[in-house]
A and B are shown apart, each in its own frame.
Chain A
Amino acid sequence: MPSFRFLALAAVAAALVVVAPAMSDSGSARQSAAPPAQIAGGDAAPIIPSIVNTRLVRAQDALGRATADYDSNQPAQAVNDMAAATDNLSKAWNAAKWVVQTTPPPPAEDAFPDGDGGAVTYADPPTTAVAVLTAEHDLVSASVGMMETGNAALLTRLTSSINAMQTQRLNAIKWIHSIEPPPTEDARPDGTEGGGTFAALMPGYVAVLDDELQQIKGRLALYKFSAAAKAALNNARVKAQDTKDLVNQYWPPVPAD
Chain B
Amino acid sequence: MRTRRTLAPLAAALGLIVAVPVAGGALRGSDPSAHAAGSGAAPLIPSIVNTRILRTQAALARAGRYADHGQTAQSIAALNAARAQAKFAWNAAKYVIKTSPPSPAGDALPDGDPAASAYAGREDTAFAALSVQHDVVATTTGLITQVGAKNKALRKSWINAISSSQATRNAAVAFIRTRKLPGTFPTVMPNLVPLVNDELKELNGRMKMTGFNGTLRKSLLNSRTRALKTRRLVNRYWPPAPAD
A residues contacting B by CB (< 8 A) are 2-29, 31-36, 60, 64, 67-68, 71-73, 127, 130-131, 133-134, 137-138, 141-142, 144-145, 189-191, 195-196, 200-205, 207-208, 210-212, 214-215, 218-219, 221-222, 253-254, 256
Contact = CB atoms under 8 A, between A and B. Distances in A.
8 contacts: A19-B17, A25-B54, A144-B51, A189-B114, A208-B16, A211-B44, A211-B119, A214-B99
A222 B39 contact: no
A256 B115 contact: yes
Contacts of A142: 51
Given A24-B33, A28-B57, A28-B58, A196 B95 contact: no
Nearest to A130: B15
Interface string B43-87: 010111011101101111110010000000010011001000100
B48 A24 contact: no
A211 B119 CA distance: 8
A5 B51 CA distance: 21
B46 A24 contact: no
Interface of B: 9-20, 26-27, 29-39, 41, 44, 46-48, 50-52, 54-55, 57-62, 65, 74, 77-78, 81, 85, 91-92, 95-96, 99, 111-112, 114-115, 117-119
B47 A141 contact: yes
B39 A9 contact: yes
A207 B19 contact: no
B17 A138 contact: yes
A8 B36 CA distance: 10
B33 A20 contact: yes
A32 B58 contact: no
B83 to A, nearest CB: 11
Given A7-B36, A212-B47, A68 B58 contact: yes
B62 A131 contact: no
Given A72-B62, A211-B119, A254-B114, A23 B51 contact: yes
Nearest to A14: B13
A164 B182 CA distance: 40
Given A24-B33, A32-B32, A211-B47, A12 B26 contact: no
Contacts of A214: 46-48, 96, 99
A218 to B, nearest CB: 4
Contacts of B36: 7, 16, 18
